[in-house]
């Protein structure tokens, strides 16, 4: 282990991180991971120890690793789980999320989509919206709504470097300027929207899986059945091939975008669509009726 060696200790490394040129033992990997998360939180001024954080928990490795790291770093963080009603996947992930919350003695708020609108499979059947796009809109809507009602001022999600690099790659391939302009690990608080942050944005998927494993966190190891065939998976595979040949590619692609391209994109004056409030539910929306209320109407009809 690089750190043990410097301290004249003799622990064997269990992992090699080529993009950081570090070989680390279990103890120092965990320490490195938590320090890196904390550094990211401070670098982007995400939150501090006085904030009330709500972690979007899916039961997967990223959200549980994030919650564990925030807990160990001494931040005030509870969890929020949406039961999407996707058969065993939702049942299994709910059990694992609750088990983890009990282990660290933190509150996990749980809502059921079936009670709010309808389950994801029902929404898929009754509307023609692409499933993951509808699911993403719904998740963002409910966590924002409940965070406000429950008195949290920060929403933290487990998006990792692989996720961010894949989205950045897709948005760049399609020159989605409006999306690129918003691709930042912090979305500031805005009329009706709670501040949203991504503290794992510089942590790879492998690092987050290893952190979960070394901390004995039980997480859901299989993907949601609707994830199959998503183009983001292809982009992740492609970026990993590049990463294997040239370690550090993903990190550089993402961090250099934030440093060099993001400020340029946002220096151009844009015509801001003004934010209103949905006439049905009162939540922030760019249209008279928000997309979740429209979805509700489609499901009913
Ligand atoms: S849960 Fe929902 Fe994901 Fe399943 S339906 Fe798609 S978006 S894949 S993170
Ligand atoms: Zn609405």
Q: Are residues 165 and 294 in the same domain?
A: no
User: Residue 270: what pLDDT?
Assistant: 66
Kindly tell me the burial class for residue 203, based on how many C-beta atoms sit within 10 Å of its own C-beta (0-12, 13-18, 19 or more).
buried
User: Residue 264: what pLDDT?
Assistant: 94
Q: Which ligand is nearest to the CA of 278?
A: 2
Q: Which domain covers residue 292, as residue numbers?
A: 274-301
Q: Is the CB of 139 under 6 A from ligand 1?
A: no
Is residue 15 in some structural domain? Answer: no
Q: Are residues 154 and 194 in the same domain?
A: yes
Q: Which ligand is nearest to the CA of 136?
A: 1
Q: Are residues 120 and 244 in the same domain?
A: yes
Q: Whose CA is nearest to atom 8 of ligand 1?
A: 227
Per DSSP, 225 falls in state G
C-alpha triplet 113, 118, 123: angle, nearest 5°:
120
Q: Which two tokens stand for residue 295?
A: 């979805």
Q: Is the CB of 224 under 6 A from ligand 1?
A: yes
The CA-atom distances, in angstroms, between 30 and each of 126, 199, 240 are 45, 16, 23
User: Residue 128: what pLDDT?
Assistant: 84
Is residue 78 in some structural domain? Answer: yes
By the 8 A CB rule, do 286 and 275 touch?
yes
Q: Are residues 243 and 279 in the same domain?
A: no
Instruction: Residue 174: give its domain's CATH number.
Output: 3.40.50.620
Q: Give the chain's end-to-end CA distance (angstroms, integer).
A: 61
- The total number of structural domains in the chain stands at 2
The minimum-distance atom of ligand 1 relative to the CA of 136 is: 7
- The single residue listed with the structure tokens 């950081």 is 20
Q: Helix or strand or coil: residue 186?
A: strand
Ranges of H-type helices in the chain: 2-6, 26-43, 61-72, 87-104, 113-116, 120-126, 131-150, 161-173, 177-180, 205-214, 231-245, 249-256, 262-267, 291-300
Mutate to test the pocket of ligand 1, among 163, 227, 232 (most ligand atoms within 8 A of CB): 227
Is residue 22 in some structural domain? Answer: no
User: Residue 162: what pLDDT?
Assistant: 97
User: Residue 273: what pLDDT?
Assistant: 74
Measured in angstroms, how far is the CA atom of residue 120 from the centroid of ligand 1? Answer: 9
Q: Are residues 143 and 173 in the same domain?
A: yes
Q: Is the CB of 135 under 6 A from ligand 1?
A: yes
The minimum-distance atom of ligand 1 relative to the CA of 120 is: 5
Q: Are residues 129 and 264 in the same domain?
A: yes
Per DSSP, 260 falls in state I
Structure ipTM:
0.98
Low pLDDT (below 50) residues in the chain: none
By the 8 A CB rule, do 58 and 158 touch?
yes
Measured in angstroms, how far is the CA atom of residue 142 from the centroid of ligand 1? Answer: 15
Is residue 21 in some structural domain? Answer: no
Distance CA 9, CA 155 (A): 40
Distance CA 234, CA 221 (A): 19
109-134 burial, b at 16+ Cβ within 10 Å, e below that, comes to beeebeeebbbbbebbeebebebeeb
Return phi, psi of residue 150, to 5°: -90, -5
């Amino acid at each position: 282990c690089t750190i043990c060696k410097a301290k004249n200790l003799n622990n064997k490394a269990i992992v090699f991180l080529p993009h950081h040129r570090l070989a680390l033992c279990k103890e120092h990997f965990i320490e490195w991971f938590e320090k890196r998360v904390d550094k990211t939180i401070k670098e982007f001024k995400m939150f501090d120890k006085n904030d009330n954080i709500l972690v979007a928990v899916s039961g997967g490795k990223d959200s549980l690793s994030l919650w564990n790291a925030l807990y160990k770093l001494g931040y005030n963080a509870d969890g929020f789980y949406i039961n999407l009603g996707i058969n065993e996947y939702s049942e299994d992930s709910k059990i694992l999320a609750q088990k983890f919350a009990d282990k660290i003695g933190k509150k996990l708020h749980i809502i059921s989509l079936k009670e709010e609108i309808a389950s994801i499979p029902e929404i898929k059947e009754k509307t023609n919206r692409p499933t993951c796009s509808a699911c993403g809109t719904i998740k963002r809507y409910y966590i924002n709504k409940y965070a406000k009602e429950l008195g949290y001022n920060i929403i933290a999600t487990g998006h990792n470097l692989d996720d961010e690099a894949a989205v950045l790659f897709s948005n760049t391939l399609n020159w989605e300027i409006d999306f690129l302009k918003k691709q930042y690990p912090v979305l500031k608080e805005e009329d009706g929207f709670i501040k949203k942050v991504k503290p794992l944005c510089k942590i790879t998927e492998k690092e987050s899986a290893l952190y979960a494993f070394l901390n004995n966190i039980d997480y859901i190891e299989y993907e949601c059945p609707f994830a199959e065939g998503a183009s983001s998976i292809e982009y992740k595979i492609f970026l990993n091939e590049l990463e294997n040949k040239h370690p550090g590619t993903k990190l550089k692609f993402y961090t250099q975008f934030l440093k060099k391209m993001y400020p340029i994109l946002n220096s151009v004056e844009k015509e801001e669509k003004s934010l209103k409030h949905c006439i049905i539910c009162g939540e922030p929306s760019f249209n008279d009726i928000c997309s979740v209320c429209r979805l509700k109407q489609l499901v009913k009809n």
